Amino acid sequence: MSDHPQSPSGAATDPMWAGDLATRMAHGVPQAAALGFEFVSMQGGVGVLRVPWREDLVGDPDTLVIAGGVVTSLLDHVCGLAVQAGRAQPTPTATLDLRIDYMRPARPRAGITATAECYKYAHAIAFVRATAYDDDPSDPVATAQAAFALTQPIAPAPSKAGDGA
């Protein structure tokens, strides 16, 4: 049995409030709900979301590839999830900066998974890196670098002994 609560999808979450937050971020935000974002996991400063392929999300009917705007939204959203995944309690955030490098088109009819890691919390800013991929995390569709304002700055979750923090 895991020490972490389970989200509605059964994925591990951390800390105690995270299951509710995960549900809200994947289904409670109208844009995320409309795009069909699925919560995968969040724990220790890392968040993972997925958007399954749907015909109405295609950017070009000749290629059958999910539109770049959907990938942008997914990356922004998963970065915000990663910021929350490393906090001792939920903190309102706002995207300050989001830089995305598109590496290649996704495969036709492929869903996209995005993984983000919040690697630094400053007093009022969190810094995040993310990757979006279709089937191989080592061959990304896009990568992102982001900064988020912590609108109510609080201390990060306590670090675990030996993690170098």
**pTM assigned to the model:** 0.81
d(CA 48, CA 26): 11
pLDDT in tens, 29-49: 889 999 999 999 988 899 999
pLDDT in tens, 101-140: 999 999 999 999 999 999 999 888 999 999 999 999 999 9
3-state secondary structure of 132: strand
